[in-house]
Amino acid sequence: MKAKQQVVQTQEPDVVGAQKMSVQDALKMADEHARAGRAPQAENVLRQLLKQRPDQPEALHALAIIAHNAGQTEAAVQLIAMALKTNPNVGLFQSNIAEMYRLIGKPEKAVEHGKLALGLRPDHADTYNNLGIAYFDLGDFELALRNYDHALRLRKNFAEAHSNRGNALRQFRRFAEAESEYLRAIGIKPNYTEAYNNMGSVLRDLERPADAEAAYRKALALKPGYVDAMNNLVLALKDLKKFDEGLALVKDVLRLSPRNADAFCYAGSIHIEQKNADLALAMINKSLAIQPDKPETLNMLGRAYFEANNPEKAVATYQRAIAIKPTYSDPYNNMGNALKELGRFDEALVAFDKCLELTPDSYGAYVNLVDAKKFTANDDAHLVAMEAYLAKADTLPEERQMHLHFAVSKAYDDLKRYDEGFANLRKGSAIKRRSIEYNEADILGYFERIKNAITKDVVARQSGGGVAGDLPIFVLGMPRSGTTLVEQIIASHPRVAGAGELRDLNETVSSVRDGSGNQAPYPEFLPVLKGNELAKIAETYFRRLAKHAPKAERITDKMPSNFYFTGLIHLAMPNAKIIHTNRNPVDTCVSCFSKLFAGEQSQTYDLAELGRYYRAYHGLMQHWREVLPAGAILDVNYEEVVADTEGQARRILEYCGLAWDARVLDFHKNERPIKTASASQVRKPIYASSVARWKNYEKHLGPLLAELGDLV
């Protein structure tokens, strides 16, 4: 993602003594050849001159320029070094060897010679610009900025210095100023491809991915095959959720540059967004095989491990990234999430604090942090900082405003400042709702399609075609209805492994094909399944499930939205246990509304839409009770689990065919990873404060209550 910097200057020959042909004439002839693109002829003249005068500095320097332009920069450095032995007091020699040292990865030597060059030519803008680039490469962005400023004082319309100044400003997170610098560079040099590429990157920083895409495409229109811009465009397409287009572009990059480590990494980042952990790990490991110690790639590998439900490996990988680049804030934030999943909340808070110390405006870290602690004072340092940012919210990109509103609302809820909390929830949800596509008619229609397709007659006709294995225990229901708590109780039994929220059933359903080999639509395919097709669905799912805990007798799958597939589960896996968690409808919806979900729960950011979705879900669950045999589903009420944990735990285990084990009552001590919005709650003993929580917000819930109607 690093933008290209400025390249070396060209030589202007001086007049020096003569032999058969004067040195001046030989240098002039070589220069004429070089300017006309006749590099071999220029090189021949220079080598003839150097046979007569081996230490002739201008000839050595001119030959170095030819070698550099031919991609032989290390050889060019050696040639200029020889010239400097004869005459160290030529500013152009010092300036060019400085830039060449930078290009071969020796920025310290670049700084050394850049300073010598300025001692000889203190008014040379190019040298200041190149010295700034060397400081940039050393990570001294303050000195880089000073040198760019000096270059611009000497040459106002210096496009490259403006672009490089933008690069330095990005490092200080002064993104709006950086954008202005790139625009100045483009104003001076309209076809400046690197400036368009750099501007695209700062537009991504400013969370304007559509504008970033346009900037990258402009760079590519000016310079087709510009790999840096192509890679950066992949990231913009990922931001815009144009995943297929992004992956197709990665293939184009790899055709041009087969060992491009960034391309593999960026493909992995798209697979993470698509929840394809295996593909993400494969691509990111290919990147690391080429470039093993790049901290940004290690950070992405940690995210892939996290997505693959391996938080321990994620933590170790983030630590590797931090060891290489201690000032890199992203791995601290991501590590905090992994530590939170592991129940290591104190360590998670330390990680979030370190992220915020390095990058105070990492607003997403505040969302993660607030779930790891309970606020007890209005002057809490985290809350004070968030309120200070909110005071200037109108100047922030909408996504950052959204993160802050959700984070502050949770703190205010802890402090019983309910009206202020809900005002922030409403603002945060409105921003989120504007940023997503949610076709309510399609979603509500999906519920009706399921009920119409899977009738009691269909269930009777298709019964008996499944597989009798009892490996899975499904825990399903609305998000925030107690699914995590119930799974944690069951997973604390020694015969059960808790796998968490799995996409396996959804992916199994998506793998069903019709007679033409096309994806068969659910629910319409279920009534027409024939022969052993139901059994194949079950076997595919069992294989997927077993991979999560190969030695376990029973495994929980706690994907809440599996309620869409309840009838299919019963028909394909008649011995599977299906536990449906219920919670007070208003409490469930308010809890959903209060969360900025990591995954898409698009129905939860508008109270009226949320109410209508809940009614549709409630109607579907009632449909399943009517069309499936008695006892196919166990309904568990969250409030009853809170009031009588042991009694409900015994009831759940009996339904699952598991002997009583008192360890399930110590579910909060179970150290298994938990990747849900309820991770912090289920690490604590049962508490009743979430029961009837909605009453704290009742006066704000009009649209929700109106849609829920008699369900309230």
**Residue 259: per-residue pLDDT:** 96
**Residue 9: per-residue pLDDT:** 37
Q: How would you list the strands of the sheet with 577-582, edge to edge?
A: 496-498, 554-557, 472-476, 577-582, 633-637
Nearest to 96 by CA among 49, 5, 84: 84
- Provide the β-strand partners of residue 35: none
Q: Give the residue with greater pLDDT, 275 vs 160.
A: 160
**Residue 6: per-residue pLDDT:** 38
Q: How far is it, in rounded angstroms, from Cα 63 to Cα 549?
A: 65
Domain with CATH 1.25.40.10 in the chain: 1-155
71-89 b/e with 16+ CB inside 10 Å = b? eebeebbebbbbbbeebee
CA dihedral 104, 107, 112, 116 (to 10 degrees): 70
**Residue 399: per-residue pLDDT:** 87
**pLDDT exceeding 90 applies to what percent of the chain?**
85
Q: How far is it, in rounded angstroms, from Cα 331 to Cα 319?
A: 8
Task: Please report which helix (H) or strand (E) contains residue 268, including its range.
Answer: helix 261-273
- Burial classification of residue 626, based on how many CB atoms lie within 10 Å of its CB (0-12 exposed, 13-18 middle, 19 or more buried): exposed
Q: How far is it, in rounded angstroms, from Cα 595 to Cα 276?
A: 24
Q: Quote the CATH superfamily of domain 449-711.
A: P-loop containing nucleotide triphosphate hydrolases (3.40.50.300)
Q: How far is it, in rounded angstroms, from Cα 100 to Cα 8?
A: 7
- Provide the β-strand partners of residue 555: 472, 497
Enumerate residues 6+ apart whose C-beta is below 8 A from 394.
none
Chain segment 234-259, per-residue pLDDT in tens: 999 999 999 999 999 999 999 999 99
The pair of three-digit structure tokens given for residue 221, joined into one six-digit string: 């229109």
**Residue 364: per-residue pLDDT:** 85
Nearest to 310 by CA among 334, 330, 345, 338: 338
Which residue type occupies 453?
A: A
For 203, list phi and psi in degrees, rounded to 5.
-70, -30
For CA atoms 468, 470, 472, 474, give the dihedral sign: positive
**Residue 1: per-residue pLDDT:** 37
- Provide the β-strand partners of residue 159: none
**Residue 18: per-residue pLDDT:** 37
Q: How far is it, in rounded angstroms, from Cα 593 to Cα 422?
A: 10
Q: How far is it, in rounded angstroms, from Cα 339 to Cα 350?
A: 10
Q: How far is it, in rounded angstroms, from Cα 346 to Cα 352?
A: 10
Q: How confident is the model at residue 65 (pLDDT cuts 50, 70, 90)?
A: very high
Counting every residue written for the chain, the total comes to 712
Nearest to 146 by CA among 126, 122, 165: 165
Cis amide bond preceding 397, omega within 30: no
Domain with CATH 3.40.50.300 in the chain: 449-711
Do 184 and 162 meet the contact criterion of CB atoms below 8 Å apart?
yes
Do 633 and 625 meet the contact criterion of CB atoms below 8 Å apart?
yes
**Residue 685: per-residue pLDDT:** 60
- pTM equals 0.80
Q: What is the mean pLDDT of residues 111-126?
A: 93
Chain segment 492-534, per-residue pLDDT in tens: 999 999 999 999 999 999 999 998 899 999 999 999 999 899 9
Residues 488, 494, 499, CA angle at the centre, nearest 5°? 45
Q: How far is it, in rounded angstroms, from Cα 459 to Cα 461?
A: 6
CATH fold, domain 1-155, is 1.25.40
Kindly tell me if the per-residue pLDDT of 665 is higher than 50. Answer: yes
Helix 227-239 / helix 209-222 crossing angle, nearest 10 deg: 160
Cα distances from 485 to residues 512, 598, 638, in angstroms, run 32, 19, 9
Chain segment 417-428, per-residue pLDDT in tens: 999 999 999 999
**pLDDT exceeding 70 applies to what percent of the chain?**
94
Nearest to 299 by CA among 274, 325, 275: 325
Do 639 and 691 meet the contact criterion of CB atoms below 8 Å apart?
yes
Q: What is the CA radius of gyration of the chain?
A: 32
Cis amide bond preceding 311, omega within 30: no
Cα distances from 313 to residues 48, 50, 214, 323, 692, in angstroms, run 61, 59, 37, 15, 39
Tell me how crowded residue 32 is: count the other CB atoms within 10 A of its CB.
13
For 53, list phi and psi in degrees, rounded to 5.
-130, 80
Chain segment 3-58, per-residue pLDDT in tens: 333 333 334 333 333 346 788 999 999 989 989 999 999 999 999 999 989 999 99
Do 578 and 634 meet the contact criterion of CB atoms below 8 Å apart?
yes
DSSP for residue 7: P
Kindly tell me if the per-residue pLDDT of 673 is higher than 70. Answer: no
**Residue 671: per-residue pLDDT:** 61
Q: How far is it, in rounded angstroms, from Cα 197 to Cα 210?
A: 14
Do 267 and 250 meet the contact criterion of CB atoms below 8 Å apart?
yes
Enumerate residues 6+ apart whose C-beta is below 8 A from 87.
57, 93
Q: How far is it, in rounded angstroms, from Cα 140 to Cα 216?
A: 27
Tell me how crowded residue 673 is: count the other CB atoms within 10 A of its CB.
18
Do 669 and 491 meet the contact criterion of CB atoms below 8 Å apart?
no
Cα distances from 375 to residues 99, 588, 621, in angstroms, run 53, 22, 37
Q: How far is it, in rounded angstroms, from Cα 487 to Cα 580?
A: 11
For CA atoms 437, 609, 566, 568, give the dihedral sign: negative
**Residue 17: per-residue pLDDT:** 38
Kindly tell me if the per-residue pLDDT of 192 is higher than 90. Answer: yes
Nearest to 486 by CA among 659, 635, 594, 360: 635
Kindly tell me if the per-residue pLDDT of 677 is higher than 70. Answer: no
What is the average pLDDT value for the chain, to the nearest integer? 92
- The residue written with tokens 């500013």 in the block is 91
**Residue 2: per-residue pLDDT:** 37
**Residue 20: per-residue pLDDT:** 61
Cα distances from 202 to residues 79, 157, 267, 319, 389, in angstroms, run 38, 21, 21, 27, 21
Tell me how crowded residue 598 is: count the other CB atoms within 10 A of its CB.
12
Task: Please report which helix (H) or strand (E) contains residue 635, including its range.
Answer: strand 633-637
Kindly tell me if the per-residue pLDDT of 402 is higher than 70. Answer: yes
Kindly tell me if the per-residue pLDDT of 140 is higher than 80. Answer: yes
